[in-house]
Chains A and B, each alone.
Chain A
Amino acid sequence: MIVKVFDMLIDYAPYFWKGTKVTVLLSLNAVILGAALAAALAFMKMSKYKVVSKVAAVYIDVIRGTPLIVQLWIVYLQLSKLIAFPDVIIGGVDMTRYLPCLIALTMNSGAYVAEIIRGGIQSVEKGQTEAARSLGMNHWMSMRLVILPQAIRTILPAIGNELVTMIKETAIIQYLGIADIMYARNTVATITYSILPSYYVAAIIYLLLNIVSTRGIRVWERKLQKAYN
Chain B
Amino acid sequence: MKKGLILLLAMALMLSGVACGSGDAKAETFHVGTSADYPPYEFIQLDDSGNEVLVGADIELAKILAEKLGKELKITNMSFDGLLGSLAEGQFDCVIAGLTNDPEREVLFSDNYFARNQVCIIHSDSAGTIETVDDMAGLKIAGQTGTVQETLAKEYAGESAIAVQNFNDMIMMLQGGQLDGIVSDSDVAEGFVATNADLMLAPFTIPYENDAVAIAFQLGNQELCDQVNAILAELKEDGTIEQLMADAKALQEELAAE
**Partner-B contacts on A (CB < 8 A):** 12, 14-15, 17-18, 29, 32-33, 36, 73, 76-78, 80-81, 83-88, 92, 94-97, 99, 174-177, 179, 186-187, 189-191, 193, 195-196
| B166 contact set on A, CB distance < 8 A | 186
**Partner-A contacts on B (CB < 8 A):** 4, 7-8, 11-12, 15, 18-23, 25-26, 29, 36-37, 39, 43-46, 49-52, 74, 76-79, 82, 85-86, 89-91, 166, 168-169, 171-172, 176, 192, 195-196, 255-256
| A83 contact set on B, CB distance < 8 A | 19
- Contact A191 to B82, CB < 8 A, known contacts A94-B76, A177-B76: no
Residue of B nearest to A72 (CB): B82
A12 contacts B85, C-beta separation under 8 Å: no
| B46 contact set on A, CB distance < 8 A | 12, 15, 187, 191
Give the distance in Å from the alpha carbon of A189 to the alpha carbon of B39 in the complex. Answer: 12
Secondary structure call for the A interface: helix
CB distance from B48 to the nearest CB of A (A): 10
For B255, give its contact among A87, A186, A191, A196 (CB under 8 Å).
Answer: A191
| A77 contact set on B, CB distance < 8 A | 85-86, 89, 91
| A87 contact set on B, CB distance < 8 A | 22-23, 25-26, 29, 74
CB distance from A41 to the nearest CB of B (A): 16
In the complex, given contacts A15-B50, A80-B91, what are 10 additional A-B residue pairs having Cβ atoms less than 8 angstroms apart?
A: A14-B49, A15-B46, A15-B52, A32-B7, A84-B19, A97-B76, A177-B77, A186-B37, A190-B36, A191-B44
B171 contacts A195, C-beta separation under 8 Å: yes
CB distance from B155 to the nearest CB of A (A): 27
For A190, give its contact among B4, B12, B23, B168 (CB under 8 Å).
Answer: B168
- Contact A193 to B171, CB < 8 A, known contacts A14-B50, A94-B76: yes
A-B contact pairs, 11 of them (CB 8 A): A32-B4, A73-B82, A80-B90, A86-B23, A99-B19, A175-B82, A176-B78, A190-B43, A191-B45, A191-B46, A193-B171
| B8 contact set on A, CB distance < 8 A | 32-33, 36
Residue of B nearest to A17 (CB): B50
